[in-house]
Amino acid sequence: MDQTKQEEEYGYDLFPERKPGEHKKTSIAESLFTFNHKCQVMLQFAVETSEYQLFSLFLSGCSKVFKDRHFSCEDCDGTVSGGFDAASSQIVLCQNNIHQQSHMNRVVTHELIHAFDHCRAHVDWFNNFRHLACSEIRAANLSGDCSFTNEVARFNFGLKRHHQECVRGRALRSILAVRKISRAEAEKIVDEVFDSCFNDHAPFGRIPHSKRDAKFAYRDYMNRDRYYANL
């Protein structure tokens, strides 16, 4: 397949610094006063204050997370905030599009769920749209993307099954952003896997509604075998 066509079909065109020969080494002075410096500071804060998220996701037979190895702050297309590069097992944080700490925290968690799925489920990101859809559903569901606070901030209101519809919509948009398929085809794929993937809450055990809740949810999930053994 032509390299340019492949980049477009797999979404790499949204992350220009992922292209061979495009990486630009910045000076110390540049890094101190740019989006990259701000991104690095917010990432460090996310790591320090959300340590349970970073490491718990990788305890189930996956490798430890190292900030300098597994995260990269880069300029991206204006339509995306982050991405998981399966080829390098690296999370891309879009330094030109992430401007608030709360946004950084959500993106880090969202992409770590993709990384967790990559390790746990051996996702075929490039050839199996159902795999991609499932991971996007899980990431939208468990990262806080569809929390009540965020939905109110977006002026999205609803009562009946609003959370599910938010997850479905964000997963659909994520798929359409990185794969060249029709909306109808993407909707069909999301619908086919939605129920099973929406109800897969690993490694938290349930949908976390806050940082504190996520920590306790993960602890309960890891202790589930101990509980059932005592029944």
Active site residues: 111
Dihedral-angle region of residue 179 (phi above 0 means left; psi in -120 to 50 means alpha; beta otherwise): beta
- In SS3 terms, 35-76 reads as HHHHHHHHHHHHHHHCHHHHHHCCCCCCCCCCHHHHEEEECC
Shortest CA distance to 70 belongs to which of 46, 45, 89? 89
Reading across the β-sheet that carries 90-94, which strands appear in turn?
Answer: 71-74, 90-94, 82-85
